[in-house]
């Protein structure tokens, strides 16, 4: 503990003596031109490497000497680095402290706990040159736990995986490929497809489809790695964007020939590809095949299919497909039919939209009907004057807990009151109140004036008194004005 405190006080003064600390981090000369390996893929000059998230300092040269208590024990060095994590000056020198310890003693060998911690920190902060130096140190001085076994350190793969993910995520494909080749030489057994998928996904994300195909060929033919479902999902998605869905279908066939079971992602990618190309029947066929194979439709699957049909001008077709799946009970509970209802109303197919909403409510699938979807159909019905259907549909919605917002409810209440159906509006308000609806002053004002126009003074006064009790009437003058409206309307009616 005392040595740690002395080191924390001593290191800043040692580091300040070196002028290179004020310059940006640069790679060591031996890392400037990485050796080309069989798995290395050249970096496309038209696609620059993503900028680093943080600019860090170069290590001092020569490295500062550490007390023997820290240079000889990886555990004590690990405790020091954990304490210095939030230090304003030492946090960025975590790797430099490790290199100083390694330089002070040729017998120093960092254990996997120390290297795993540093790999995670360097990867998170995008210090890629420092990360490559760490990997070199890991390979040059293996973990002490490997001495007691014929196998390599069990944490070797997770440490390199963090580095490969960082390199690939930054767009530095050559560095990721070099780290993968180094790991392949150091590992005891063939690497799983997961490590190759990281680079494959990065190539697909950078729209380097040809490089992704070549990398897959090296992965399967040169290194004899069996691809998994995630591998083929990457290739299917990349092929859909680069060459079209027909090429993606060939990869789908290759996936089945290699006994990889397609996942929901595989089918969703193909479905999106068919719909993007306007091949709606084939997209629907993919959805039905998902059901036949027992994969099932997810919320994403329904959004791809129904949303794609609606955006492609096939709202009626989408409604038929939705009704079919709803009748079969395969529509996921969290799917929202708002886009379908909105597309039908925009296309003037209001009867079909009402039919869809009625089906959802009759089957008690209220989770598929959101408040915006219900408000959309109610507004369309009010525009054409179908108030009977408005009352019927809103009653069903509120009864199942789908309560519109206050402004939407006020619009419905006002339309009913102007049509002489204030009692229906008030009944809807009372039902909505039981389901959590909170009325405002405008709600009560509309109802009071509606009862006044119909000459129903008793009901109007009951609503007016409730309005007064809730504090929506600011003064006696406002109360008298609303009350006079009830009396005048009755006298005019008589």
Q: How confident is the model at residue 491 (pLDDT cuts 50, 70, 90)?
A: very low
Domain boundaries, the chain: 403-494
Q: Which of 249, 304, 252, 248 is nearest to 280 (CA)?
A: 304
Instruction: Find the mean pLDDT for residues 17-28.
Output: 39
Q: How confident is the model at residue 69 (pLDDT cuts 50, 70, 90)?
A: very low
In DSSP terms, 57 is beta-bridged to: 24
Neighbours of 413 (CB within 10 A): 25
The confidence score (pLDDT) of residue 6 equals 58
Number of H helices, E strands in the chain: 25, 0
Which H helix or E strand runs over 491?
helix 476-493
Quote the CA–CA distance of 230 and 271 in Å, as a whole number: 17
The confidence score (pLDDT) of residue 352 equals 94
Query: What is the tens place of the pLDDT at every residue in 166-187?
Result: 999 999 999 999 999 999 998 8
Instruction: Find the mean pLDDT for residues 240-257.
Output: 94
The confidence score (pLDDT) of residue 2 equals 56
Q: How confident is the model at residue 35 (pLDDT cuts 50, 70, 90)?
A: very low
Quote the CA–CA distance of 409 and 375 in Å, as a whole number: 9
The pTM for the full model equals 0.78
Residue with more model confidence, 475 or 195: 195
Instruction: Find the mean pLDDT for residues 334-347.
Output: 93
Q: How far out from the chain centre does Cα 390 lie? A: 37
Q: Please say if the pLDDT value at position 100 is more than 90.
A: no
Quote the CA–CA distance of 429 and 413 in Å, as a whole number: 8
Query: What is the tens place of the pLDDT at every residue in 282-293?
Result: 999 999 999 999
Helices (H), 146-228: 156-169, 173-186, 193-205, 209-217
Q: Please say if the pLDDT value at position 450 is more than 50.
A: yes
Q: Which of 374, 435, 439, 436 is nearest to 413 (CA)?
A: 439
3-class DSSP state for residue 57? strand
Residue 195 Cα distances to 176, 226, 491, angstroms:
10, 12, 85
């Amino acid at each position: 503990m005392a040595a740690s405190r002395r080191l924390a006080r001593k290191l800043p003064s040692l580091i300040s003596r070196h002028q290179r600390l004020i310059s940006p981090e640069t790679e060591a000369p031996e890392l400037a031109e990485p050796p080309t390996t069989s798995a290395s893929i050249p970096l496309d000059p038209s696609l620059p490497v993503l900028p680093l998230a943080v600019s860090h300092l170069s290590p001092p040269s020569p490295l500062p000497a550490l007390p023997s208590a820290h240079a000889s024990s990886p555990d004590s060095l690990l405790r020091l680095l954990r304490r210095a994590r939030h230090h304003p000056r030492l946090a960025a020198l975590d790797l430099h402290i490790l290199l100083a310890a390694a330089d002070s003693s040729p017998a120093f060998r960092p254990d996997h706990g120390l290297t795993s911690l540093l790999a995670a920190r360097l990867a998170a902060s995008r210090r890629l040159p420092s990360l490559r130096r760490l990997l070199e140190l890991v390979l040059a001085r293996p973990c002490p736990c490997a001495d007691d076994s014929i196998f390599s350190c069990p944490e070797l793969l997770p440490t390199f995986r963090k580095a490969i993910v960082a390199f690939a995520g930054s767009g530095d494909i050559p560095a990721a490929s070099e780290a993968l080749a180094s790991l392949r030489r150091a590992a005891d057994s063939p690497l799983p497809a997961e490590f190759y998928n990281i680079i494959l996904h990065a190539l697909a994300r950078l729209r380097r489809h040809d490089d992704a195909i070549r990398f897959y060929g090296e992965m399967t033919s040169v290194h004899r790695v069996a691809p998994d479902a995630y591998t083929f999902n990457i290739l299917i998605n990349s092929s859909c964007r680069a060459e079209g869905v027909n090429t993606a279908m060939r990869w789908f066939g290759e996936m089945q020939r290699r006994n990889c079971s397609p996942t929901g992602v595989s089918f969703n990618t193909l479905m999106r590809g068919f719909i993007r190309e306007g091949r709606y029947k084939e997209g629907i066929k993919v959805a039905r095949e998902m059901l036949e194979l027992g994969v099932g439709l997810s919320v994403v699957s329904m959004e791809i299919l129904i949303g794609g049909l609606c955006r492609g001008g096939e709202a009626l077709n989408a409604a038929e497909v939705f009704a079919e799946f709803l009748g079969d009970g395969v529509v996921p509970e969290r799917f929202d039919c708002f886009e379908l209802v909105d597309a039908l109303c925009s296309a003037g197919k209001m009867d079909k939209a009402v039919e869809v909403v009625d089906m959802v409510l009759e089957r008690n699938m209220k989770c598929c009907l959101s408040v915006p979807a219900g408000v959309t159909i109610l507004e369309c019905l009010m525009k054409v004057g179908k108030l009977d259907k408005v009352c019927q549909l809103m009653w069903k919605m509120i009864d199942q807990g789908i309560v519109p917002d206050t402004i939407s409810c006020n619009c419905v209440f006002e339309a009913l009151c102007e049509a002489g159906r204030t009692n229906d509006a008030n009944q809807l308000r009372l039902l909505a109140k039981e389901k959590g609806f909170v009325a405002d002053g405008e709600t009560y004002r509309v109802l009071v004036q509606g009862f006044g126009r119909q000459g129903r003074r008793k009901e109007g006064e009951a609503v007016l008194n409730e309005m007064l009790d809730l504090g929506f009437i600011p003064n006696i003058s406002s109360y008298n004005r609303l009350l006079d409206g009830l009396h005048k309307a009755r006298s005019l009616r008589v």
